[in-house]
Structure 1
């Protein structure tokens, strides 16, 4: 079972390889196909009376090449001196006339297509008057039917007939790659009736060089892709480094911008706070206008919004009344008791008041918001 599956798999791979190379070769001009051996040409040797007709089968069909008279026995390869170098390298096929073979068309299940020759080998004795051991045969697929079966054809040639045809070629018979059958219209059926052991295998002298060049090309391709990938990685690393540097610069610029915003906001706050409260000069001027001439100040302190006055005055009890009503402060009051000063004859006083600070714009908005949302 495993051997059958292996053979089926190899047949499918070989069929796919042939189809793929043929499909690729159709894109090349004929001269290039001939140069690289992709033209799928073969040399057809067809008995014609006492002589031999030589034709070349290629992509454009069968083209007659030459006709030879009767071949002399004991002579070496009679085609070697006749054929030009390019044609001499083509695989040689003997083309049998249609009346030399027996053909039978048989429908088979689609599953039999993978082992077509083996399946039809069991049908030889049922479909032909010959014994399977006395013939050479091959099979081909003609098409697929609508019911899922494949239409096949069994081609059989008696071995004596084949041997007689091969013997007529003389030494050229040993150079044959296969034996095909004339379809009657100048074309070949596409079968090979020559036993596998007798098929001439042509060794391509350039095969080793082609393999070496193919390996070099493959290695160069892999190296090119690897270099391309390495370049992409290097470019990605460089781009990542540039992005990191740009991000670092952006973070630095953002930090500087934030510092500048904080500085501007701080200066604006200080200016707003300074504008919202009276200056020391204004406070001193207002005190000079409200305090009587008999009053001396020893100390004037302004801490935040608190004003502290320490001095001597003959009218100390009336100072609170004189300081009331000023737009620069509010709530003036004496702190502690009056103390007589024996040297000056005046009373020492300590007086406090609170500066009037106008609300800033932010405080005004917050107060308005608080009033609107109780």
Structure 2
């Protein structure tokens, strides 16, 4: 089957099949309660009258048969009195071989829309009769792989069928349909549906019964639709409710994420400030370190600190020795003179300008001279008194 294949769907046949399958599942007692039909009475004409076969509604295997004399007008009435279930049975006239014929035709698919007219127009090509001489019925059996339709054609001479119908009417029997024994329309249920009964002899449907039938069908369809649609509708409502909750949660999540971003930014700035503070030494500690390292005969005139770089200016009796003193400190590194040493004539001391890098000292670092003033005093005990 290709994607271009057209699906041939017959709603009427589908309904007949589906209702038959559902009815098969019902218990016989319940089927008799819900249905006014007891079965089907099949009349088959023979030389002595009619052979009758009764197929009960509860199953095709439950049958009964009788022989009916066509010349006895009250014969069928007496048979119905002896078998009351025949009163509610449908009547079917079934023609035997030699009384009808059948053929299988293959026609273009376009002929399906007006099948009866197409077959009637060319009936004399397929059979020895024309449309005025025979009653015929055409039923589509299916489609072939060549794009054609397979058609079952059944026909019988008008004079023959009219005679059988007249004999049945004399017995008080009005058949609902006429078929051919080699192409039965009942048992199996999948048999093709057709009738050779002329239009003027077909029973007129009861409008009230048809209205009830269609009303019940509509109710059944609505119930079926409700069974199929109601759960889907409920699931759709649940999905919509979840979507609304999800939107609310998304708004709350967006707000929380924005607050979290602000918190992260503040935390990052705080860490940066803490890092800057931890990397830079305290100026008080730097001044304390300088006051300890520089002797009393050395004083400062300028002090400039920026970006971990310290510059000092002052006077000292031995300024050249300050480089080694400052380099020995844990706070200072890269100590160097910025300008040459000069001597102040008024004081006799050397002017100096020194630049150095300042580093932070861990709290748990080893104690230096500032923490051991006695060592410093012992080192300076031999120094001459300051001027």
Match of residue 207, structure 1, among 214, 226, 230: 214
Are 1:97 and 2:96 counterparts? Answer: yes
Aligned to 1:233: 240
> Contact 2:136–2:156 at 8 Å: present in 1 too?
yes
Aligned to 1:157: 156
The two structures, once aligned, show a CA RMSD in angstroms of 5.2
Match of residue 271, structure 1, among 278, 281, 285: 278
1:43-79 Cα distance to aligned partner (Å, 9 max, x none) = 4233463455142288975753353755636999985
Say which is worse superposed, 200-209 or 60-69, in terms of deviation: 60-69
Match of residue 305, structure 2, among 284, 289, 303: 303
Are 1:284 and 2:282 counterparts? Answer: no
Deviation at 1:171, TM superposition (A): 7.8
Deviation at 1:211, TM superposition (A): 1.1
Aligned to 1:46: 44
Structure-2 change in CA distance of 1:140 and 1:221 (3 Å) = closer
Q: Paired residues, what number?
A: 329
Structure-2 change in CA distance of 1:209 and 1:107 (3 Å) = closer
> Scaled by the length of structure 1, what TM-score is found?
0.63
Structure 2's unaligned 5+ residue stretches are 1-5, 362-387
1:108-148 Cα distance to aligned partner (Å, 9 max, x none) = 44447625433332344455554532421123567888988
Aligned to 1:17: 11
Structure-2 change in CA distance of 1:217 and 1:89 (3 Å) = farther
> Contact 2:336–2:354 at 8 Å: present in 1 too?
yes
Match of residue 260, structure 1, among 246, 264, 267: 267
* SS across alignment from 1:269: helix
> Contact 1:142–1:152 at 8 Å: present in 2 too?
yes
Deviation at 1:20, TM superposition (A): 3.7
* SS across alignment from 2:195: coil
Structure 1's unaligned 5+ residue stretches are 1-8, 311-315, 341-345, 361-374
Deviation at 1:177, TM superposition (A): 2.6
* SS across alignment from 1:271: helix
> Contact 1:25–1:33 at 8 Å: present in 2 too?
no
Structure-2 change in CA distance of 1:91 and 1:354 (3 Å) = farther
Are 1:354 and 2:355 counterparts? Answer: yes
> Contact 1:336–1:350 at 8 Å: present in 2 too?
yes
1:225-268 Cα distance to aligned partner (Å, 9 max, x none) = 33322321221232343345345434544543454344334323
2-structure distance, mates of 1:182, 1:122: 26
1:314-372 Cα distance to aligned partner (Å, 9 max, x none) = xx5736446444324542769999797xxxxx799997543333599xxxxxxxxxxxx
1-structure distance, mates of 2:312, 2:93: 133
> Scaled by the length of structure 2, what TM-score is found?
0.61
Aligned to 1:177: 176
Structure-2 change in CA distance of 1:99 and 1:332 (3 Å) = closer
* SS across alignment from 2:165: helix
* SS across alignment from 1:194: coil
1-structure distance, mates of 2:250, 2:111: 62
1:15-94 equivalences in 2 (<5 Å): 16-18=10-12, 20-21=14-15, 24=18, 28=22, 30-32=24-26, 35=31, 42-47=40-45, 49-50=48-49, 53-56=52-55, 61=60, 63-67=62-66, 69-70=68-69, 72=73, 82-84=83-85, 91-94=90-93
Deviation at 1:194, TM superposition (A): 0.7
Say which is worse superposed, 223-232 or 164-173, in terms of deviation: 164-173
Deviation at 1:162, TM superposition (A): 1.8
* SS across alignment from 1:207: helix
1:174-193 Cα distance to aligned partner (Å, 9 max, x none) = 75331112229997985411
